[in-house]
Amino acid sequence: MMKTSQPTTPETLALGCEVVIEAAATGDSAGGEERLPRFSMVAYTGGAIRTMGFAYPVVVNLDGLTIPTQQRPVRFQHSALEGVGHTERIAVENGKLIAEGVVSRDTPAAREIVASGKKGFPWQASIGASVEELEFIKRGVTASINGRKFAGPIYVAHKTLLNEISFVDLGADQRTKARIAAQHQHTKENASMSDENVPAAEETSSAEEPQTGDESTQRNRPARLNASFAGSDPLAEIDQMTARARTETERRQRIQEMTAEVLAQRPELADELGKLAHAALEAGWKPDKYQLEVMRLGRSYNGIGGPRRRETVVNGQVIEAALCIAGGLDTETLEAGFNEEVLDTASRQYRHGLGLVETLLLFAQANGYRGYGRSDLKGLLQFAFADVQGSAMSTISLPGILSNVANKFLRSGFEAVESTWREIAAIRSVRDFKQVSSYSLTGGFVYEEIPPGGELKHATVGETAYTNQAKTYGRMFGIDRRDLINDDLDALTAVPRRLGRGGALKLNEVFWKEFLDNATFFVAGNNNYAEGVDTALGIDSLTQAEQLFLDQTDPDGHPLAVAPVILLVPNGLYVPATQIMNSTELRDPASTKRTPVANPHAGKFRPVRSSYLSNAQYTGNSTKAWYVLADPNDMPVIEVAFLNGQQMPTVESADADFNTLGIQMRGYHDFGVAKQEPRGGVKLKGE
């Protein structure tokens, strides 16, 4: 069991839930006091949730959830500066976390939530909890949590402390919903929080409320609106209030974003920056004024006697894994590239993801950088790529990490493209770009009898030689200034994935151009080609192709003693090919002839298809021609050579390009394709 200490900032588990908000109504006739809007929610359903920063789904063990008090803060987007209200009841019921409470804060966020909820906005909820004990369940292992069974790989938060609950516009579970209800004469005692009992969003006004305007209009207005906006247009007032709240929310969010960005660079400023941010929010500062004050704070804090900056010590593989998780690399590729310990550490150390600029800052700050990231790109790049001895990052290469991450996404794109060439080609490794030769596999290797005391004779390779030569194909791409300002991780993930696809397409293009250019390869003179009306794919033509293949001989006239195993067809023939291979009986209902029904070729060949065989862009294409081939390991008709055996393209990153304020990267692939042994296959025209 892997445990984590309680983080300074509570871990936010974005768990979708169902939210019901009840608009406030006037109190009873005795008190006349206004009741606060109420809400109820299913804060957590007990299931496995995909949440940012974790490589695998997370399950919160409700048996280990500590609820300090029944009155917990309710916020907007987990911000302590965006209060909404508080809970009055929190409980675990039927394997779910239930919460009820009131909108008791008078903040722009609280007003916007009630107003927009009243208009039908589907609010969801999310819990903010400190993870005190976390267990990683490996693949193949099953865990029983919350009365349900979960199969690994998953994380189980066995001990958590509930800190707060937040309204969010989008939770991890997007199937949730919320609705507004106005209930006249609503009181805490008679309120029902269940879905089934919350009334619709219309309410008849009270006879005791002031009546203005058309009676039918008043009857359809919510009680609270009629009471609060008597004599005016309540809908217009709501629109104005919502607009003001939106503007205020945007201002606060911008200040919070700036604060988080500076704290990521300068954690030693936490206390002073917290006071400054609070003052800015309360005094209504505009973001540009706040930015100016932050810069002044940073300069003064670097003066004599200021505390030393804490160095960040990290592991290169963990950084790579965190970037791959944040970039959305598929689970299979993640597990192939990193072990479980690295993935677990990355998920815990960078729970909220790792961005491109944050990665650059890790290296730049370790090398003494004291700037402000995206507002100082030249300095950021200069320090990030600096090779400083004695630095906390001196044993880790930033270009190497960027290249490794890009290569993993490149592999993902490369493997998504058709790779039929792997099934029909021999693959070899070459050491350089010089032309290499291979010889016919039909040479003099037949054993000879050795008399007593005689010498073994040397075998001789065939006289026929085939050549191949690796060439380089590639493209450049860059992470430019805009990507860095936008902190666009796609520049490091999506672009390499497209480069991987581009590399695979180029390999296919070269391979199939060579394979289909076979006018002098598959010919009657080589005893590996047949044409005519009887060559259309079928039982009889398969028999013909098999015999044509088996009747071939080596240069000495001896049988090849190699059987075909691959049936290569264009897309249009793939279904007939699989039907023939999978059917044990073949019947012709229209025929009156007495013929055997057993399929002599059932399961004999492996059907393989390629979209390139019938593509009009390639010379030699055909929608009807098909091939029967030997195993390429026994007798290949075509070969692909890779430099140093590297079958995937490679991405490399270079030092910062200060002319363009960006990072240059290149993708390249070294390979060669050439036809080999004509005896390794036969072609039927299919006419």
- DSSP state letters, 569-631: EEGGGHHHHHHHHH-SB---TT--S----B-TTTTTSEEEEETTTT-TTSTT--SS-EEEEE-
pLDDT score of 267: 67
Which of 125-139, 158-172, 264-278, 488-502 has the least mean pLDDT?
Answer: 264-278
Backbone angles phi, psi at 77, to 5 degrees: 55, 35
The number of angstroms, rounded, from the C-alpha of 32 to the middle of its chain's C-alpha atoms is 55
Give yes or no: residues 357 and 265 share one domain.
no
Same domain, 183 and 34: yes
Is residue 183 domain-resident? yes
Residues 43 and 183 in one domain: yes
How does residue 521 score in pLDDT terms, banded at 50, 70 and 90? Answer: very high
How many domains is the chain built from?
Answer: 4
Tell me the pLDDT band of 682, cut-offs 50, 70 and 90. Answer: very high
Q: Looking at the predicted structure, is the pLDDT value of residue 485 above 80?
A: no
What average pLDDT does the structure give for the chain?
Answer: 76
d(CA 393, CA 303): 25
Q: What is the mean pLDDT of residues 239-251?
A: 73
Q: Kindly state whether residues 276 and 399 are assigned to the same domain.
A: no
b/e burial code for range 32-63 (CB count within 10 A of at least 16 → b): eeebbbbbbbbbbbbbbbebebbbbbbbbbbe
Q: Is residue 464 part of a domain?
A: no
Distance CA 372, CA 375 (A): 6
Among 415, 434, 464, which residue terminates a domain?
415
**349 and 389 housed in the same domain:** yes
Looking at the domain assignment, is residue 216 inside a domain?
no
Mean predicted confidence (pLDDT) in 567-574: 96
Domain boundary among 257, 276, 301: 301
**Winning range, highest mean pLDDT, from 31-40, 98-107, 224-233:** 98-107
Is residue 241 domain-resident?
Answer: no
- pLDDT for 393: 52
Q: Is the pLDDT of residue 426 over 50?
A: yes
Distance CA 437, CA 82 (A): 72
Q: What does the pLDDT look like over 144-190, one tens digit per residue?
A: 998 899 998 888 889 888 888 888 876 654 443 433 343 333 333 33
Residue 344, pLDDT above cutoff 90: no
Which region among 39-53, 244-258, 452-466, 622-636 has the lowest average model confidence (pLDDT)? Answer: 452-466
Could you tell me if residue 449 is inside a domain? no
- Mean pLDDT for 339-346 is 85
Q: What is the pLDDT of residue 28?
A: 46
Residue predicted with more confidence, 254 or 441: 254
Q: Are residues 546 and 576 in the same domain?
A: yes
Based on the fold, state whether residues 124 and 37 are members of the same structural domain.
Answer: yes
Higher pLDDT, 90 or 456: 90
| Confidence tier at 212 by pLDDT (50, 70, 90) | very low
Question: Which domain does 385 fall in, by range?
Answer: 316-415
- The whole-model pTM stands at 0.55
Question: Same structural domain for residues 32 and 109?
Answer: yes
Decide which of 382, 415, 448 is a domain's last residue.
415
Residue 86 lies in a domain: yes
| Local confidence band at 387 (pLDDT 50, 70, 90 cut-offs) | low
Q: Assess whether 178 and 69 both reside in one domain.
A: yes
Mean pLDDT of the region 31-39: 72
Tell me: do 46 and 161 sit in the same domain.
yes
Measuring CA to CA, which residue among 145, 151, 126 is closest to residue 56? 151
Same domain (yes/no): 50, 133: yes
Mean pLDDT within 226-232: 40
Q: How confident is the model at residue 238, as a pLDDT?
A: 58
pLDDT of residue 465: 74
Query: Would 212 be classed as within a structural domain?
Result: no
Distances (CA, A) of 678 to 548, 553, 554: 13, 11, 11
Cα gap 195→189, rounded to integer Å: 17
Contacts with 647 (C-beta within 8 Å, 6 or more apart), sequence order: 427
Element (DSSP H or E) covering residue 282? helix 270-283
The single-letter DSSP state of residue 269 is G
Is pLDDT larger for residue 243 or for residue 430? 430
Confidence tier at 431 by pLDDT (50, 70, 90): very high
Helices 234-265 and 287-301 cross at an angle (nearest 10°) of 20
Q: What integer is the mean pLDDT of 139-145?
A: 88
Q: Say if residues 665 and 402 touch (Cβ distance below 8 Å).
A: yes
How sure is the predictor about 197, in pLDDT bands with cuts at 50, 70 and 90? very low
203 has pLDDT over 90: no
End-to-end, the C-alpha distance of the chain in Å comes to 66
Q: Are residues 82 and 117 in the same domain?
A: yes
Alpha-carbon separation of residue 558 from 448, 463, 529, 552, 562 (angstroms): 15, 16, 20, 8, 12
Confidence of residue 477 (pLDDT cuts 50, 70, 90): confident
Q: In which residue are the tokens 């390429």 written? A: 632
